[in-house]
């Protein structure tokens, strides 16, 4: 079972715009945002996962996006440093939560938006850059975690974080294949090729020859901002094509409604920080 950290959207709003999804002129139903988030929380609990809650802070409307609060691998916590000043105070709030919980914490030294841009795939960390997390932060993550980091270049501003363009689904049981994972089960991912530079697309094809290739329509409802426990994949309900693709690969798609949080550019994964002991 998985262990997640979430943050209730008590102070959620869209009153600044730091990505193309955000328009402060579009009304947000704050009550519905809380109800949708509460249903996501309940979904994880019903699946048997552990969910810890970080207290939301007034004046930080994006703090609900817990994935941006840290990266946690092997019980090691790498803190974050936000690109935009609007979100800066979230970084120490998340880091001190982990320090208080007894984790081995490390401060960010470069712009690094946590699991928004750093995703564990088998033994490797996939690391996005181009809009938020700086390339220098990838080297820092490699040093802190002692895991090989693979840099991926994002090119479409709508897919400003890696977790909006790529989802790690789980591991295959096939230990033989290509991709540098010989002798170990290979991770399986779903992604939108158009969100990546030509070189990064080639890297993804080499590493993940059996990836689920998502459609632009499914990505455009943040379908790739999904949370997999290796078997069950929690994803936006509107991503029907992706849900069918996942089901045909033997995953169980679990649709959730997050229309209000999507107005800030976030989906289920953005609301969910995975704690790996």
Q: CB nearer to ligand ARG: give 60 or 207.
A: 60
Catalytic residues: 161, 270
Only segment of 98-106, 146-154, 158-166, 195-203 that touches ligand ARG (CB under 6 A): 158-166
Q: What is the rounded distance in angstroms from the CA atom of residue 179 to the CA atom of residue 129?
A: 22
Q: CB nearer to ligand ARG: give 65 or 97.
A: 65
| Window 47-76: contact mask with ligand ARG (x via CB under 6 A) | ---------------x--x-xx--------
Q: Does 19 bind ligand ARG (CB under 6 A)?
A: yes
Shortest Å, Cβ 64 to ligand ARG = 9
Q: Does 211 bind ligand ARG (CB under 6 A)?
A: no
Q: What is the rounded distance in angstroms from the CA atom of residue 58 to the CA atom of residue 105?
A: 25
Q: Does 161 bind ligand ARG (CB under 6 A)?
A: yes
Q: Does 9 bind ligand ARG (CB under 6 A)?
A: no
Q: Does 238 bind ligand ARG (CB under 6 A)?
A: no
DSSP code at position 86: G
Q: Residues binding ligand ARG: what is the number (CB under 6 A)? A: 16
Q: CB nearer to ligand ARG: give 22 or 78.
A: 22
| Cβ atoms of 182 and 172 closer than 8 Å | no
Q: What is the rounded distance in angstroms from the CA atom of residue 24 to the CA atom of residue 41?
A: 26
Q: CB nearer to ligand ARG: give 149 or 186.
A: 149
Q: What is the rounded distance in angstroms from the CA atom of residue 182 to the CA atom of residue 240?
A: 33
Closest CA to 204 of 119, 112, 114: 119
Q: CB nearer to ligand ARG: give 7 or 246.
A: 7
| Cβ atoms of 85 and 38 closer than 8 Å | no
Q: Does 164 bind ligand ARG (CB under 6 A)?
A: yes
| Residues whose CB is less than 8 angstroms from the CB of residue 224 and which lie 6 or more positions away in sequence, other chains included | 163, 164, 165, 166, 167, 190, 191, 192, 214, 218, 239, 242
DSSP-derived 3-state class of residue 174: coil
Q: What is the rounded distance in angstroms from the CA atom of residue 89 to the CA atom of residue 129?
A: 22
Q: Does 116 bind ligand ARG (CB under 6 A)?
A: yes
Binding residues for ligand ARG, rule: CB under 6 A, are 18-19, 22, 62, 65, 67-68, 87, 116, 161, 163-164, 264-266, 270
């Amino acid at each position: 079972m998985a262990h997640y950290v979430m943050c209730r959207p008590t102070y959620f709003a869209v009153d600044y715009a730091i990505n193309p999804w955000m328009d402060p002129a579009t009304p947000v139903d704050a009550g519905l945002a809380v109800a949708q988030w509460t249903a996501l929380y309940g979904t994880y609990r019903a699946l048997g996962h552990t969910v810890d809650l970080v207290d939301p802070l007034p004046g930080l409307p994006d703090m609900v996006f817990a994935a941006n609060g840290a990266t946690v691998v092997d019980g090691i916590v790498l803190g974050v440093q936000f690109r935009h000043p609007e979100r800066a105070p979230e970084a120490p709030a998340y880091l001190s939560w982990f320090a208080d919980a007894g984790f081995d914490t490390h401060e960010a030294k470069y712009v690094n938006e946590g699991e928004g841009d750093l995703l564990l795939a088998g033994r490797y960390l996939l690391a996005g850059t181009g809009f938020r997390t700086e390339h220098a932060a990838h080297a820092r993550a490699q040093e802190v975690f002692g895991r090989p980091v693979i840099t991926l270049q994002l090119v479409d501003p709508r897919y400003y974080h890696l977790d909006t363009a790529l989802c790690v689904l789980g591991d295959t049981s096939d230990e033989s294949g290509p991709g540098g994972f010989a002798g170990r089960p290979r991770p399986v991912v779903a992604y939108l090729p158009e969100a990546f530079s030509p070189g990064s697309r080639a890297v993804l094809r080499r590493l993940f020859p059996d990836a689920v290739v998502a459609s632009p329509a499914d990505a455009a409802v943040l379908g790739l901002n999904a949370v997999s426990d290796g078997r069950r994949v929690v994803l936006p309900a509107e991503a029907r094509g992706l849900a069918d693709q996942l089901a045909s690969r033997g995953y169980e798609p679990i649709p959730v409604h997050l229309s209000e949080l999507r107005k800030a550019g976030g989906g289920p994964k953005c609301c969910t920080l995975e704690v790996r002991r």
